[in-house]
Amino acid sequence: MNRTNKILVWVIILLALLNITTIGTILYHNQRDKKVAESIVFDQGRNPLNGRFFRQKLGFDDQQMEAFRTANREFQPKAKEVIYVLDSLKKQIFFEINKEKVDTLKLRQLTESIGSSHAELKKITNDFYLQVKDICDEGQCEQLKDAFEPLYNDQVNTGCCKERGTLCRPGSERGYGAELNRNSNNNN
């Protein structure tokens, strides 16, 4: 082998290693992103309801995990689509209320669309919950109930604070919704 051929062989080997590394990196990131995307997150302070949660916290066996994955693959795209629509409608409403001349008819229609989209999301979530509940034993059903409770908890929070007109994050201890929750708890 002459010198030119040796150099070409080494270039080919380096290019092959580079391709293998690139493909491996892409597969790794796709798998990691897929796991993140399959998580249901209620709020930042809680664990996401993903496969790991159901295996570790509820103790799902392999059969239950496969049934969960099947239900989750059906649930996630539907829920994400409705959430995307809801977010879009909220942006449209915000844009409309900040116009010089607000079209109140359009505002009402957008608001009604949010209501029907929210109802659709609840239906999808209910179906998913019932599918997962069907694969749980009695003890797991109690833990499942606790995990899903935030989705069905009707705590009112307007997101506005009474303190100096500042905005609060939903769920914070300040603001109108938190005050309502404290008052209703005191009445019990």
Residue 85 has a pLDDT of 92
For the stretch 161-186, pLDDT in tens is 444 333 343 444 433 333 333 333 44
Report yes or no: 128 and 71 within 8 Å, Cβ to Cβ. Answer: yes
Nearest residue to 45 (alpha-carbon basis) of 172, 143, 142, 181: 172
Residue 158 has pLDDT above 50, yes or no: no
For the stretch 132-141, pLDDT in tens is 899 988 888 8
Span 85-90, average pLDDT: 92
The 10 Å Cβ neighbour count of residue 68 is: 25
Q: Read off the DSSP letter of residue 160.
A: B
At residue 154 the predicted structure's pLDDT band, cuts being 50, 70 and 90, is low
Residue 127 has a pLDDT of 93
Mean of per-residue pLDDT scores for the chain:
75
Report yes or no: 120 and 86 within 8 Å, Cβ to Cβ. Answer: no
Q: Read off the DSSP letter of residue 103.
A: -
At residue 115 the predicted structure's pLDDT band, cuts being 50, 70 and 90, is very high
How open is the CA angle 164-165-171, to the nearest 5 degrees? 105
Q: Distance (Å, rounded) from C-alpha 132 to C-alpha 65?
A: 10
